Every structure is written in C-alpha cells, then in structure tokens.
Amino acid sequence: MDFPGLMMETPLTLRLAFDRARTLFGNKEIVTKTPDGTARTNYEALCARVERLASALHDMGVRPGDRVGTFGWNSARHLELYLAVPSMGAVLHTLNIRLHPEQVAWIANHAEDSVIFIDDSLLPAFEKVAPHVTTAKRFVIMGDGPLPETTITADSYEELVEAGHPTFAWPDLDESQACAMCYTSGTTGDPKGVVYSHRSMFLHALMSGMVDTNGVCENDRVLPVVPMFHANAWGLPWAATLTGASQIFPAQFMTPVDIARLIASERVTFAAAVPTIWIGMLQCLDQERLDLSSLERIIAGGSAVPLSLIQAYEQRGMKIVQGWGMTETGPLASLSRLTGHIEERSSDEQMRFRARQGLPVPGIELRIVGDDGVPAPWDGEAMGEVQVRGNWVARTYYNDPRSPQSWTEDGWLRTGDVGIVDPTGYVQLVDRTKDLVKSGGEWISSVDLEGALMGHPKVLEAAVIAIPHEQWSERPLACVVCKPGQRATKDELIEFLAPSFPKWWLPDDVLFLEEIPKTSVGKFDKKVLRAKFAG
C-alpha cells in the first residue's frame, strides 16, 4: 500500500533564488563593464529595482504566461529581467542578437513575445528586426541617459523602473509553470523553442552549486561570458543568485583581451565560455602581463575542448573543466571533473580524461544507443547516439511538428551526438551525426582530427568537414587558421597527425584560412564550410 512522506511541498520556483539573495546577500556585488569603466550595484539595490520592474510590467499589461523578449548583452539590467519576469509568472524569452534580423523576428513571433527589451547599443541591429515583429505591442530600451534617436516607438527602461511601485504582490506560482524560453540556433531548419519550467531551472541551479559540478558558491565572483541569450548563460545567473555569489557582466565588451582584463581587475574566481574565447585569450596572455591568479575554475563547452587548450591553461596555472549539454538539456548534462580513482592515475592519463565530456551530472541519466536501437555497453568501444533524460531535459519543443523525431518512444531525448562511454562512466563525444565523415563505409571523427590539429604549435583553430568523393563517398578536409606570425604546410600537418591516426583517417587536403566562420553562439560553422568547399 502507499505510504506517503510527510514533508511540506513548497513549490520550487525561481522566486526562491530572488528572495534568498535579497534576504541573505544584499551587500554582494553585481558589476557591469561600461565604456567608462564599471557600473556597480548589489543584490539589495538590484532586488529593489526588480520589485519596481515587476510592478511596471504588470501595469503595462504583462500577465502570467505572457512572453517577455530580451535583446541584450550580459548586464545587471538583463539580470533584473531574469529575476522579475519569471517571479511574476511571465516567461523570459532571450533573443539571440547574432541571428539574421528576419530569423530573430520569426522567433519572436513564434514565441508570441508581447514586449521586447533592447540594449541601447543594439538598437541599430534591432531596427532591422522590428518591422518584421508582429506580436510585440511594446518595446523598451535599456540604457543610461535620454532615449537615443530611433525609428522604433519605445519606452525608457529607467523611466519604467522608476514608475514602478516599490512593492509588488508576487503571485503564488506552480513549479510546473514556464519560467523561460530559448530557441536552438537553427543549424538545420527553423530554430526550435525550448520551454523551461520553474522546477527545472531551480533544480538546475541547485545542481550547479554542487562541489562536484560547477561548485558555484557565495564566495565566488562569477563571470558568465557565455551570453545570457544562449541557453540562459548555462543557468549561471540563477545559480549565482541562489547561492549569493557576486556576478560580473562583460556587456558588449566580449573580445578575449577585454575578458582577460575584466578577470584580472574584478578578481573573478569562476568563468564560463565557449572554447573559441579561451583560444583567443591565450594570445593576449602571451602579449599582456595580467594577474589571473584569482581564477580558480574555467568551464568550457558548446563544442569539444581541444586537449592542447586544456594543457596550455594548465601550464599557466589555470584549470579548464569541459562541460557538455544542449539548449534542450537545461543545458548542463555532463562535466569532466576527475573522480578520486582517476586522480590516482598518471598525469597524462588524467589529462586524457579531462579532454572527454565527463560524467553525467546528478539528475541526468545517459545512455548510448546503436543503429539497432539497442542501448550499447559502457565498455569504451561501443559507439552510438547519446540519449538523455532528467528533470531539466525538455520533453518536446514548443509548437513544433518536428518534435516526435527528437524523442524516443520511451521518452529519452535524442541528442544527435555520437559517443562512447567507458566503464568508469566518462562520456566521450565522437562527433555530431551530421559532422561524421563516412569514408568507404567507415566512420572518421572530425572532432578527434580537430583536437589533434589544434595541438600543433602553429595552429590556432581547425575545423574538419566531409567533402564528397567519387570512390570513397566522403573524405575529410581540414580547414586551418594559423597563429599570428606562423605559417604551416599541408605536409607538415599531415605528418604531425600520422602517428596518431590510421592512414585512411588523414585529411585529403588542408586549406589555410584567415578565419573559420562561427555560428551565433561561437561554434565553428561547418555548414558554411561544407557549402563553400563542396566541390
């Protein structure tokens, strides 16, 4: 017979994070980089503004379930929206500022955004979006001083906050209500909407504070370089708020040298960004003498982290931890922290484990499934599609007929990543299904070749793509960017790869480029390369 527990059932909502920061950590800093230096506030002042903002949004007509769009950089104002919008029962919808204007408008219309907040420095970009937006009735411009000249009829964010009441009657929310929306980057077809619940993001924030995951804690000074429009900045704004960590925001100052200087000046302890940021930052560390001794943890994800990059930062006394996830997984699904028995192994073997995508984080179940539809063993050899499920994994897309093809009949998310799992539980991604090279009926991992190429002392970036081949169906082509002042040759790089790979894995050719195209979230844009070099 049933024997229920006798515990309270307080809804797990993001308002708990907001209330905790205001009550316990009012003096902790929130810092935003500005053209003139930095703007500083703390949780006490910021949460007072959040009250006024929620009141003003309510007076504007925003109600529970309404979608509130943002088109902005990482900043304290964006954090205010991160806290006010979900806590009042509305749905925060972060728009990707780097997409084509018509695609941004398509996403805003598909989500049915009722009001959109825009950073003043992004007005020229949004003016190209606005004519195509049909659902939003109001636009609000975030910035200091008077409203800039614009073709958009808009309100002032600061005037809106000032007009709000200093107290707001926060509604009681169900933890299953939507709190936020993000859209995938749309590498194949239209972007797909993921709708997060309060429960999912609260649990994700709790997980992010665990010692064996991100370990975000009250003593931290957290710098989310990953944009707040990309999978909710990997959940860091809510995790940092929940734990009372100080938050440092780079705003539009996103170059590697800007990031390095901000880490040094603000004594950042925890930073998160895609690998291309950390690759670029290595160059400026060689040119500028900056004290980054405060930086205890670096999280890198979004694409595979080359072993050479992990080693380069290790030599400078900084540790990169590789993470893996997707917009659909909240996003954090695995982290490559070393367990005790791995730390007992040789330093070379430890480094190889750190270059993997790591162990599933608590709350995530993971399996790999072969072409026969059967879960494969965790033996470090069997390869299959990585599938996951958990409390912050999406169960469907928002209003999208393509949803059924992305989930299995028994409810697991099909990630589209191909990987292996070793007996200790460490996941290693071999490739995306669409990026694997199939040559003569055998698979070649573009990820492995890229990681090896970026280990060459003259190579800055490398992307490997499949190109059609009359005899072998497909063959690998390496696209390489050399470090400034360096030159390499095809034969030199092929010779460098030869000891590590079978001969038939080696690229047929190496093209040297000025830069590798990037997606809107900083990944190598292989579809552009495939289209350009298909012949």
Rounded Cα gap, residues 54 and 319, in angstroms:
40
Q: What is the pLDDT of residue 111?
A: 98
403-437: pLDDT as tens digits: 988 999 999 999 988 899 999 999 998 877 667 78
CA distances from 19 to 24, 26, 28, 43, 201 (A): 8, 10, 14, 10, 16
Lowest average pLDDT, out of 12-21, 60-69, 100-109, 471-480, goes to 471-480
Number of domains in the chain: 2
Q: In this structure, is residue 167 part of a structural domain?
A: yes
Q: In this structure, is residue 408 part of a structural domain?
A: no
Query: Among the three residues 152, 181, 202, which one is the final residue of a domain in this structure?
Result: 202
CB 233 within 8 A of CB 204: no
CA distances from 186 to 89, 191, 379, 518, 521 (A): 28, 4, 34, 13, 11
Query: Considering the chain, what percentage of its residues have pLDDT values greater than 90?
Result: 77
348-396: pLDDT as tens digits: 999 999 999 999 999 999 999 998 899 999 999 998 999 999 999 999 9
86-142: pLDDT as tens digits: 999 999 999 999 888 999 999 999 999 999 999 999 999 999 999 999 999 999 999
Question: Is pLDDT of 189 > 90?
Answer: no
Q: What is the pLDDT of residue 530?
A: 84
Domain range holding 519? 435-535
Q: What is the pLDDT of residue 187?
A: 53
Q: What is the pLDDT of residue 286?
A: 80
Q: In this structure, is residue 95 part of a structural domain?
A: yes
At 66, is the pLDDT very low, low, confident or very high (cuts 50, 70, 90)? very high
Q: In this structure, is residue 162 part of a structural domain?
A: yes
Mean pLDDT for the chain overall: 93
Q: In this structure, is residue 12 part of a structural domain?
A: no
Q: What is the pLDDT of residue 441?
A: 59
Q: What is the pLDDT of residue 216?
A: 98
Q: What is the pLDDT of residue 257?
A: 93
Q: What is the pLDDT of residue 381?
A: 92
- Sorted by sequence, the CB contacts under 8 Å of residue 19 that are 6+ apart come out as none
Burial of 61: CB neighbours in 10 Å, binned 0-12, 13-18, 19+: exposed
Query: Among the three residues 202, 226, 254, which one is the final residue of a domain in this structure?
Result: 202
Rounded Cα gap, residues 301 and 535, in angstroms:
32
- Residue keyed to tokens 């780079």: 250
Q: What is the pLDDT of residue 426?
A: 97
Provide the pairing of β-strand 138-142 with 37-42.
unpaired
At 188, is the pLDDT very low, low, confident or very high (cuts 50, 70, 90)? low
Average pLDDT over residues 159-187: 93
Q: In this structure, is residue 400 part of a structural domain?
A: no
- Residues with a known catalytic role: 184, 328, 438, 443
CB 179 within 8 A of CB 185: no
> Any idea what the CATH number is for the domain that residue 123 is in?
3.40.50.12780
Q: What is the pLDDT of residue 371?
A: 85
Of residues 288 and 213, more confidently modeled: 213
Q: In this structure, is residue 340 part of a structural domain?
A: no
At 500, is the pLDDT very low, low, confident or very high (cuts 50, 70, 90)? confident
Provide the pairing of β-strand 178-183 with 155-156.
unpaired
Q: Of the candidates 162, 155, 142, 159, which has an alpha carbon nearest to the alpha carbon of residue 77?
A: 142
Lowest average pLDDT, out of 89-93, 413-417, 446-450, 519-523, goes to 519-523
At 306, is the pLDDT very low, low, confident or very high (cuts 50, 70, 90)? confident
Q: In this structure, is residue 88 part of a structural domain?
A: yes
Q: What is the pLDDT of residue 440?
A: 64
Rounded Cα gap, residues 414 and 184, in angstroms:
14
CB 206 within 8 A of CB 220: no
> Any idea what the CATH number is for the domain that residue 452 is in?
3.30.300.30
The token duo for 17 is 């994070």
Query: Among the three residues 156, 172, 202, which one is the final residue of a domain in this structure?
Result: 202
Question: Is pLDDT of 34 > 80?
Answer: yes
Q: What is the pTM of this model?
A: 0.86
